Amino acid sequence: MSMATAAAGRREPAALSPTRPAGSVETFFRALAPNWHSQWAWDHYEPTILGLAHQFGLRRVCEIGGGRDPLFSVEAAARNNIVLTVNDIDAGELALTPPGLATARFDIAGDLSEPDIARGGYDLMVSRMVFEHVHDVERAWTNIHALLAPGGVALAFFPTLWAPVFALNHILPEKASRAIVHALFPGRRDDGGDPKFPAFYDQCRGSRATLEPMLRRAGFSDIHVQRFWGHGYFDRMPVLKQADHAFNALAAKIGWDFVTTYAYVVVRKDKV
């Protein structure tokens, strides 16, 4: 899944080779110095995951909600010394997972009673554009804590409220928001390669103050929330695009959490 082009005027992202202090996920991201614009998040999702795997020595990776479009091919996983398991709640999605990749069908917010569940079996759990579809995100983070090995890391990349574009998607009836998305992005029709799934946006916020209590209840103390602003939905509407970019640039400058568009939430389970 990709977004349209980046807004103009952004600085180039830093190289993904942070110096390696023994560290927390917080220090990892401080060294990475991500750009404020969400295009950085899309462009650097894979290198960030590889950087985390390298920094913290993580090999067994579970991609939550990877379905038909997992992050790594068999070859890329092998090349990067990663043992990848593709998870999804939907057996139909997993049937479309490229052959050769291991799959595990379960609900990340479920009761963990499915036979495919490996408690403590993953070093790194990642997800992209999945948490907004999860009905109980606190339960998902609690389950992730149970599924990670000691010292394991999880990264969830999701859209956030109350960015106006996602607030609209949240507030409009599913039928109406589906019609708008299908009109703007024909590839996202149900018969296309990138269907639209219903979104709940439970705990999908870009504010550390909002998320931290939940993440602590789930068992994590090493926590990082990387906030992003801006999006590509108005790329084909020049005037709106410029006005929206100016709004997001200002919001990023003053650090206005309420209107972030996306976030990476990254946690590390204690080693003992």
Ligand X SMILES: C[S@@+](CC[C@H](N)C(=O)[O-])C[C@H]1O[C@@H](n2cnc3c(N)ncnc32)[C@H](O)[C@@H]1O
- Catalog residues that contact ligand X under the rule CB under 6 A: 1, 64-67, 69, 87-90, 93, 107-109, 128-130, 133-134, 197
Q: Which is nearer to ligand X, 1 or 83 (CB)?
A: 1
Q: How far is the CB of 72 from ligand X (least distance, A)?
A: 12
Q: Which is nearer to ligand X, 87 or 177 (CB)?
A: 87
Q: Give the separation between CA 60 and CA 148, rounded to whole angstroms.
A: 10
Q: Which is nearer to ligand X, 43 or 69 (CB)?
A: 69
Q: Give the separation between CA 132 and CA 128, rounded to whole angstroms.
A: 10
Q: What interhelical angle do 137-147 and 208-217 show, nearest 10?
A: 50
Closest residue by beta carbon to ligand X = 65
Q: How far is the CB of 101 from ligand X (least distance, A)?
A: 13
Q: Give the separation between CA 232 and CA 190, rounded to whole angstroms.
A: 21
Q: Which is nearer to ligand X, 90 or 212 (CB)?
A: 90
Q: How far is the CB of 240 from ligand X (least distance, A)?
A: 24
Q: Which is nearer to ligand X, 3 or 14 (CB)?
A: 3
Q: Give the separation between CA 122 and CA 62, rounded to whole angstroms.
A: 6
Q: How far is the CB of 163 from ligand X (least distance, A)?
A: 17
Q: How far is the CB of 133 from ligand X (least distance, A)?
A: 4
| Length of the chain, in residues | 272
Instruction: Decide if 215 contacts 267 (C-beta within 8 A).
Output: yes
Instruction: Decide if 106 contacts 89 (C-beta within 8 A).
Output: yes
